[in-house]
Amino acid sequence: MDTLTPVLNEDETVRRRADVFFQEQLDVYARRTDRMFAWLMGIQWLAGVVAALWISPRAWEGQYSHTHIHVWAALFLGGTISGFPILLALTRPGSVLTRHVIAVGQMLSCGLLIHLTGGRIETHFQYFGALAFLAFYRDWRVLLTASAVAGADHLLRGLYWPQSIFGVLVADWWRWLEHVGWVVFEDIFLVLAIRQNLSEIRGVAERQAKLETFNESIERTVNERTSELRSVHQQLLEASRRSGMAEIATNVLHNVGNVLNSVNISSSLIADGVRKSRASDLAGAVLLMKEHKNDLGTFITLDSRGQHLTAHLAQLSEHLMAEQMAAANELASLRQNIDHIKEIVAMQQNYATFGGVKEIVNVLDLVKDGMRMHEAGLQRHSVDVVRDFAEVPPVNIEKHKVLQILVNLLSNAKHACQESARADKRVTIRVVKTDDKVRILVIDNGVGIAPENLTRIFNYGFTTRKGGHGFGLHSGALAAKEIGGSLTVQSDGPGQGASFTLELPQPTKEKSHA
């Protein structure tokens, strides 16, 4: 039952909407027909006056002449018959009352014109024309009203004043039935035509209702999918930020780990130096001198052991000074490595912030920070780094997003060189200013990119590296767009290396403080 509910609701919506469209269309036809009859009845009134003036303008009684009664009837009675329907057509168009009043007035106008022409048979065709025009309302009840008025007019005038309706002084009592029969005959075909036309209008309304309902369904689905895409896009941006920061943190850990290896080596060398130190020999010489403190001079000059003591102390002094120098060097190296670790951690803390905040940054300093984060990995894989830096002005950007892009590009360049198995692995970092843009190029001589992959390289999930997740370049392209720049790639093909260009937005007017 629950499965059928949406379908039933949709069908009910279509039906109700079709009813509204159907009624709106009928209202349009009714208003249009009302305006048509406002003009038509005005023209009929003037035609009646002209006919009266042409047929019987003057009447004579002996020597006296006066305006014929037909002229006054056409002028005043015709105005009365036509005036009220015209007023309603202008003030209340589309009203049910208006169309029935017009139907009554139209039939009375036809009867008046027949009277003015002396009941000529050809003027009776006005009834048929008027009924055809009234059928424009698409309302069979209007035809019923008009036919009833026409039938009553023929009956009453046929019985009491046949000359005004049939043009004869005496008429058979059934003659009005003949005329009414022809009216009913026409009504039958007009009603059939109205029903067919209403059916067609209903069909158009239903199709329009279904189309609009379908369009609304599509728009609703599109809006839902758009909302979902916005949510997914936001999630991708957040994942991009987290991925970029994770990439930075990974490189920080690599650098810290590499420095810790040096710290471990330095501490081991110091410990070995202390264990192997000849300071114990000094203690033996001192002990020997204590034993002969009362005859130290005789012991040094006459005793063979004392004679070698001076040379031994001189040699021991040289060894101790060498050990001290080595320990001092290792301690200096240890202190330098510890300072390097502190610098790396401070740099990570500097960039480990949420995005959205722009600041004026020195592009070269930013590039150097990214290079330092990859320094250990590049050295470990024997990748030569070439710096080609031009003086560029500072820019107003979100620096953590730029660093995220640089770290990812350097990581990809390192992997590309590593997978190429070349002896001369090389990554070139170039910073240039062209026109009003600052560009950072990361160029490697690694495995290169196939032409068919150049248009897909920034797609989410696409990667050519084994073990890659296909997210880094995609997130980098999104981040570049967010800061108002762009990220593009160029490669001559497999084995020809690749060049990634990060274009930053227009630099500020401020000069670089680098």
Model pLDDT for residues 443-466, shown as the tens digit of each residue: 999 999 998 888 888 887 777 776
Q: Which domain holds residue 319?
A: 277-351
Model pLDDT for residues 248-286, shown as the tens digit of each residue: 666 566 556 555 665 666 677 777 767 766 666 666 666
Q: Annotate 183-204 with b (16+ C-beta within 10 A) or e (fewer).
A: beebbeebeeebeeebeebeee
Query: For the residues of 412-464, what is the DSSP string, one character each?
Result: HHHHHHHHHT-SS-EEEEEEEEETTEEEEEEEE-SS---GGGTTTTTSTT---
Contact (CB, 8 A) for 71 and 52: yes
Q: What percent of the chain has pLDDT over 90?
A: 7
- Give the SS3 label for residue 396: strand
Domain end residue (candidates: 188, 222, 256): 222
Q: Annotate 112-146 with b (16+ C-beta within 10 A) or e (fewer).
A: bbbbbbebeeebbebbbebbebbbbbbbeebbebb
Question: Do 195 and 162 belong together in one domain?
Answer: yes
Domain assignment of residue 234, yes or no:
no
Question: Do 216 and 308 belong together in one domain?
Answer: no
Model pLDDT for residues 53-95, shown as the tens digit of each residue: 665 554 444 444 334 455 555 556 666 777 788 888 888 888 8
User: Nearest Cα to 418, choosing from 444, 388, 387, 453?
Assistant: 444
Model pLDDT for residues 399-415, shown as the tens digit of each residue: 777 887 888 888 888 88
Domain assignment of residue 174, yes or no:
yes
- The confidence score (pLDDT) of residue 491 equals 92
CA 213 to chain centre: 22
Question: Do 293 and 436 belong together in one domain?
Answer: no
Burial level of 110, CB count in 10 A (0-12/13-18/19+)?
buried
CA torsion, ordered 71, 74, 79, 84, to nearest 10 deg: 160
Domain end residue (candidates: 326, 351, 376): 351
Domain assignment of residue 227, yes or no:
no
CA distance 103 to 81: 11
Q: What percent of the chain has pLDDT over 70?
A: 68
Domain assignment of residue 272, yes or no:
no
Question: Do 369 and 413 belong together in one domain?
Answer: yes
Domain assignment of residue 381, yes or no:
yes
Question: Do 326 and 387 belong together in one domain?
Answer: no
Residue 407 sits in a domain whose CATH number is: 3.30.565.10
Question: Do 347 and 496 belong together in one domain?
Answer: no
Domain end residue (candidates: 317, 351, 385): 351
Question: Do 432 and 316 belong together in one domain?
Answer: no
Read off the pLDDT of each residue in 335-360 and give the average, rounded to a whole number.
64
Give the residue carrying structure tokens 């009837």. Answer: 73
Query: For the residues of 41-68, what is the DSSP string, one character each?
Result: HHHHHHHHHHHHHHH--EEEETTEEEE-
Question: Do 326 and 366 belong together in one domain?
Answer: no
Domain assignment of residue 181, yes or no:
yes
Model pLDDT for residues 7-38, shown as the tens digit of each residue: 446 678 888 888 888 888 888 888 888 888 88
Count of structural domains within the chain? 3
Question: Do 54 and 165 belong together in one domain?
Answer: yes
466 φ/ψ sector (left φ>0, alpha ψ -120 to 50, else beta): beta
Model pLDDT for residues 173-200, shown as the tens digit of each residue: 677 787 888 888 888 988 999 889 888 8
Q: Which residue has the higher pLDDT, 139 or 470?
A: 139
Question: Do 345 and 430 belong together in one domain?
Answer: no
Is the pTM higher than 0.75? The answer reads no
CA distance 138 to 32: 12
Question: Do 334 and 365 belong together in one domain?
Answer: no
CA torsion, ordered 336, 337, 340, 346, to nearest 10 deg: -110
Domain assignment of residue 398, yes or no:
yes
Question: Do 371 and 347 belong together in one domain?
Answer: no
266, containing H or E segment: helix 175-275
Domain assignment of residue 423, yes or no:
yes
